[in-house]
């Protein structure tokens, strides 16, 4: 979908272990985002990136870090996974080719289902 690949698609891990989720795009878009989705909360922004090595926090960034060393890859790391981080994680990308900054939509990947036991 829209040239976005999330890996892995499913992962089960134990509390306290580090976990890295990968988002790869083939669109060469500037903006990339990580969201989590939980029942009753809709989608909530974790972190986003507006270029290589340029990232910023979203509304639920505690316990997560991100890195973007290449345009095409945006990594989300849980340094020490907790059960509260059991969720579905979605990556999204957005171009900056609209005539104004927000006149271009986000396109989402198919998600990574993470279970922390």
Of all helices (H) and strands (E), which one includes residue 37?
strand 31-38
| Site size for another protein (CB under 8 A) | 29
User: Of 45, 61, 60, which is closest to residue 94 (Cα–Cα)?
Assistant: 45
| Closest CB 11 distance from another protein, rounded Å | 15
Site for another protein in 37-56 (CB under 8 A): 40-45, 48, 50, 56
User: Of 116, 112, 97, which is closest to residue 34 (Cα–Cα)?
Assistant: 112
**93 binds another protein per the rule CB under 8 A:** no
CB nearer another protein, residue 9 or residue 80: 9
CB nearer another protein, residue 71 or residue 108: 108
**107 binds another protein per the rule CB under 8 A:** yes
Cα-trace Rg, the chain: 14
User: Of 56, 69, 93, 71, which is closest to residue 20 (Cα–Cα)?
Assistant: 69
From the number of C-beta atoms within 10 Å of its C-beta (0-12, 13-18, 19+), residue 28 rates as: exposed
**Interface with another protein (CB under 8 A), residue from 25, 31, 78, 116:** 31
Interface residue list for another protein (CB under 8 A) = 1, 31, 33, 35, 40-45, 48, 50, 56, 58-59, 88, 90, 92, 100, 102-103, 105-111, 113
């Amino acid at each position: 979908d829209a040239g976005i690949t999330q890996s892995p698609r499913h992962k089960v891990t134990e509390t306290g272990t580090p976990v890295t989720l990968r988002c790869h795009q083939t669109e060469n878009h500037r903006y990339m985002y990580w969201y989590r989705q939980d029942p009753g909360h809709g989608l909530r922004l974790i972190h986003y990136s507006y270029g290589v090595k340029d990232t910023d926090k979203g509304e639920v960034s505690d316990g997560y870090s991100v890195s973007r060393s290449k345009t095409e890859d945006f990594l989300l790391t849980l340094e020490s996974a907790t059960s509260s981080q059991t969720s579905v994680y979605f990556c999204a990308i957005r171009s900056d080719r609209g005539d104004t900054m927000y006149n271009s939509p986000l396109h989402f990947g198919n998600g990574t289902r993470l279970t922390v036991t």
